[in-house]
Structure 1
Amino acid sequence: MSEHRTKEIKIRCTEAEYQSLQSRSSKPRLAEWMRDVCLGVREPRSRTVPRVDPALLRQFSGLGNNLNQIARALNGEHFSALDRVHLMSALSALQRDLDVIREENTGDDR
């Protein structure tokens, strides 16, 4: 005969903590997933493709194309040293902005 669950554990968490648990859960019900994790039930890891907004991907693609055009221009044209410093500064700022966008959308903090 199977054992019935009669004990209840209540926890409090912030909205952010709850959303984090929900996003990590591989089960339809959070309680089932938490039991498995906390009691050491091993589940095979599956490599899931992160969900990314297609509009965000298009923006990144466009930015990448623009960066490639800038790199080609820099390599092919004769710019003054000051022009190159300004361009490198602008590209560095763009890199920082892209890193922030990537982290906000993927949780990847490289």
Structure 2
Amino acid sequence: MPIIKGGKRDQEIKIRVTQSEKDQLNELKTQVSLAVWLRELGLNAKSIERADPELVRAIGRIGSNLNQIAKYVNTKKEVDVNVLSTVNRIESLLIEVINQYRNDKNAG
């Protein structure tokens, strides 16, 4: 019998699932027991950090600008130097934001 860290497991957590969900979980499990697999999955999970709301808004604005550029290009069927320059600048800014985010994550 395996050694249980932290004492005897005497607490119970109940969840409700449909038969389809239960079947799907049983297909996905990597342990003999569904309960063991779910416990290990939950206890070893990494929490998902919420994104900075200002960053989300900034990326949304960039997406909106890209949509406007795409509409312009599709209407005119050509790309002028200003449009290409703007797209290149947006790409550079996005790469900069992604790299900064990665650096912040690695530092913290």
- TM tier relative to shorter chain: 0.3 to 0.5
**TM-score between the two structures when normalised by the length of structure 1:** 0.46
Tell me: higher relative CO, structure 1 or 2? Use CA pairs within 8 A at least 6 residues apart. 1
**TM-score between the two structures when normalised by the length of structure 2:** 0.46
